[in-house]
Structure 1
Amino acid sequence: MTAAEAAAKIRDGALTCEALTRSCLERIEARDATVKAWLYLDKPRAIAIARELDKRAPMGPLHGLPLGVKDMIDTCDMPTTHNSPVFQDYRPARDAACVAVARSSGAVILGKTDTLEFAAAGRRAATRHPQNAAHTPGGSSSGSGAAVGDRQVQLAFGTQTGGSHIRPASFNGIYGLKPTWSSVSREGAKQYANSLDTIGWYGRSVDDLTLVAKAFRLHEAGEIASPDIASLRVAWCRTPFWSKIEPAGEAALEAACARLAQAGASVTELVLPPLFDGMFEAQNTIMMAEGRASFLDVALEFGDRLHGDFHERVDNALGITPERLLAAYDLAATARKAFEALYADFDVVLTPASCGEAPESHYSTGDHVFNAMWTLLHVPCLAIPCTTGPKGLPVGVQVVAPRQADARLLAMAQAMAPVIDHETPRYAHIA
């Protein structure tokens, strides 16, 4: 079941929280030796919490729903290792704000999912793609994407600084929302780049994403009616980085456009002006420069025990000058206004969520070139499964709306998703 289907059954008394939690734990037991999505699980505690929730009136939209937490987000009752050798014994005293909101809404925090070290660089996750263990599930939200994609859990938190949330959604054939920057508190999550970091969530349907959006009280989430597909004006966008697209990514975008047009939507091409050509470089400049401050404390404290990737950031190996950083900030500010002015001519942007299929690699988590610009623009992005590539692995697309239009994006995605997503395999098994 999707999270939304399970929530409805729990409300109607047709399903218990304990039964749902036990089913997830059984799936994890059967699959995780291969997928390796989890860094920490406390099965007896999860069952005890679910059993307690069965005794209570519904606490909120997530009541009784199992949820995975990316292991660079603090949990008061579980370790937060950041997948770093120097934090293996770290046990925070408080939940991160997003975890506290989820618990208060009735979620069962099932465990901690594997991640790229500090969701940034250094040590890679051990997680494998659920459909083919030779391939990456993407990153840095590796474990969360794979766990939801493999039906081990209904929902999971991910984060995005460049493309770490939307790209794994595409690779694993699942839905994901990266909300408007700063609309969800990042307190208690490891900081990489303050002006980019965003907490998002994975599910198996747009309704799942909307449930979590309601828990976080995103403005009007779940209150806007889904429009008729024939009324939608969709602008498809190659982006200035089209030279990086792979055949599978191009095919997914073409398929999504064709399906929407056939369903009656107005589909036109959006060619971004030259202003946007430097957005990938600007995002990387800001990410690396802000990373200097974010990792200075751990570099000083742990020295050679800390992976060299973080020392490179702290030591400014790229030689980023204050002038270059300010130019990147200024470009981002100008581009945000320019991008949203374009929406007079359309309702939503449709664009690649990844270059193509998940790479055959246990080191590379894929290229974030089709995500970085949208992250820097601070806009909400929603990943929708679309098709499969030549190796049979999922390839998705993403839809994008202006800042603070998360609820409208969810409503439009409800209309678009059944049209775009009708051939992605729903149940994954290792090839």
Structure 2
Amino acid sequence: GGSSSGSAAAVADYMVPLATGSQTAASILRPASYCGVVGYKPSYGKISIGGVKSLSVTLDTLGVFGRTVSDVALGVAAMSADHDLMNIAPLESKIRIGICKTDDFAHAQAETAAALSLAGFAAKAFANGGVGEIALPMDCAKLSETQTTIMLFEMAKSFTFEKLNHFDQISPTLKAIIERGDAITYDHYHAALLKAKLARAAIKELFADQVDILIAPSATGEAPKTLEQTGDPIFSRGWTLLGLPCINLTVTTGPNGLPVGVTLVAGPGQDRLLLSAASALAQQLSDPISINQF
């Protein structure tokens, strides 16, 4: 499921109750979906990335895997020193939930489409402000492409020392990624940064005026039957670019009996609201095992 897939698998296999992860594209939400665990990517900058090997300073975000919403809230509270996150408040005001297929929904397999429908139906039990489909603003079109441009450009720069001193030890796969980043011009990179700025302003307005929580796909489907690649990150790239707090919850299983999740997304800095909504939806979906029972 990505660079943090080992962390997600360790939690799923009960090796550990909590594990850290990082997301530059989709490496928290996607492995969480594949492994059937809760994966929480907090707002950009919530947890310091000091001491972490950077891939993309614009995108890198630390998060946590666990088996319940309260567990991951505890983990991020400890890492960020935001102790208020540990107290997940019940939803009190009217909450508006938007089912957001994104403009990449053509990549979704049947099990992902089913998970999105099931989550939307379950959310009606507590979303007293209504549940309905919602489209992202025009300025949020093609976020995956924008995220990829920024990530590749900055990733190539972050490996400058390795390129200059240890190029012969870099894997062919990483070399190819670095070469793609080196081929991106400054003009193309800065155009992507401008698009990201416009998209963040547009999504902030969407959350202010139309919706409180989005429910979107976490992955294209269940985990692929291969070790050659880690699956498609397309559904999480945009949320990472926007810096929004996100959390994966397991909803159903695919044709091979493997987990399939959805991503809940809140507005900029609205981590507490996200956790409250995720806790409410999780109660409708299942009765997971808490860290206290580990």
TM-score (norm 2): 0.92
Q: Deviation of residue 222 (structure 1)?
A: 2.9
Corresponding residue number in structure 1 for 2:12: 149
Query: 1:171 & 1:313 partners in 2: Cα distance?
Result: 24
- Which segment drifts farther, 371-380 or 359-368? 359-368
Query: 1:244 & 1:141 partners in 2: Cα distance?
Result: 22
Corresponding residue number in structure 2 for 1:204: 67
Residue 140 of structure 2 is aligned with which of 261, 270, 276? 276
Q: Deviations over 1:64-105 (max 9, x none)?
A: xxxxxxxxxxxxxxxxxxxxxxxxxxxxxxxxxxxxxxxxxx
Corresponding residue number in structure 2 for 1:251: 114
Matches within 5 A, 1:401-412: 401-412=266-277
Q: Secondary structure at the match of 2:235?
A: coil
Letter in 1 for 2:191: A
Contact 1:357 1:393 in 2 (8 A): yes
| Alignment of 1:398 onto 2:263 | yes
Do the aligned partners of residues 316 and 347 (structure 1) sit closer, same or farther apart at CA in structure 2, a change above 3 Å counting?
Answer: closer
Q: Secondary structure at the match of 1:371?
A: helix
Q: Deviation of residue 404 (structure 1)?
A: 1.4
**Gapped runs of 5+ residues in structure 1?**
1-137, 427-431
Query: 2:70 & 2:137 partners in 1: Cα distance?
Result: 34
Corresponding residue number in structure 1 for 2:37: 174
Q: Secondary structure at the match of 1:383?
A: strand
Residue 240 of structure 2 is aligned with which of 372, 375, 384? 375
Query: 2:277 & 2:289 partners in 1: Cα distance?
Result: 23
Letter in 2 for 1:285: T
Do the aligned partners of residues 219 and 286 (structure 1) sit closer, same or farther apart at CA in structure 2, a change above 3 Å counting?
Answer: farther
Contact 1:219 1:406 in 2 (8 A): no
Matches within 5 A, 1:258-337: 258-262=121-125, 265=128, 266-316=130-180, 319-337=183-201
Q: Secondary structure at the match of 1:220?
A: helix
TM-score (norm 1): 0.63
Corresponding residue number in structure 2 for 1:227: 91
Q: Deviations over 1:30-61 (max 9, x none)?
A: xxxxxxxxxxxxxxxxxxxxxxxxxxxxxxxx
Q: Deviation of residue 406 (structure 1)?
A: 1.1
Query: 2:127 & 2:57 partners in 1: Cα distance?
Result: 41
Q: Deviations over 1:158-200 (max 9, x none)?
A: 1100001110000111101101111111111111111101110
Query: 2:211 & 2:279 partners in 1: Cα distance?
Result: 17
Q: Deviations over 1:374-401 (max 9, x none)?
A: 0000011011111111110000011111
**Gapped runs of 5+ residues in structure 2?**
none
Letter in 2 for 1:240: D
> Sequence identity, in percent?
37
Q: Deviation of residue 275 (structure 1)?
A: 2.0
Q: Deviations over 1:270-292 (max 9, x none)?
A: 11133222211110000000011
Residue 254 of structure 2 is aligned with which of 386, 389, 402? 389
Query: 1:243 & 1:153 partners in 2: Cα distance?
Result: 36
Do the aligned partners of residues 421 and 332 (structure 1) sit closer, same or farther apart at CA in structure 2, a change above 3 Å counting?
Answer: farther
Contact 1:263 1:419 in 2 (8 A): no
Q: Deviation of residue 419 (structure 1)?
A: 1.2
Residue 281 of structure 2 is aligned with which of 391, 396, 416? 416
Query: 1:315 & 1:416 partners in 2: Cα distance?
Result: 43
- Which segment drifts farther, 290-299 or 371-380? 290-299
Contact 1:144 1:156 in 2 (8 A): yes
Q: Compare CA radii of gyration and give the structure with the larger one.
A: 1
Contact 2:68 2:289 in 1 (8 A): no
Contact 1:219 1:407 in 2 (8 A): no
Q: Deviation of residue 414 (structure 1)?
A: 1.4
Ranked by relative contact order (alpha carbons within 8 Å, sequence separation 6 or more), the top structure is: 2
Q: Secondary structure at the match of 1:413?
A: helix
Query: 1:263 & 1:377 partners in 2: Cα distance?
Result: 27
Contact 2:212 2:267 in 1 (8 A): no
Corresponding residue number in structure 2 for 1:68: none
RMSD of aligned Cα (Å): 2.0
Q: Secondary structure at the match of 2:216?
A: strand
Q: Secondary structure at the match of 1:355?
A: coil
Contact 2:63 2:76 in 1 (8 A): no
Matches within 5 A, 1:330-369: 330-343=194-207, 344-369=209-234
Contact 2:137 2:206 in 1 (8 A): no
Letter in 1 for 2:124: A
- Greater share of helix residues, 1 or 2? 2
Contact 2:154 2:181 in 1 (8 A): no
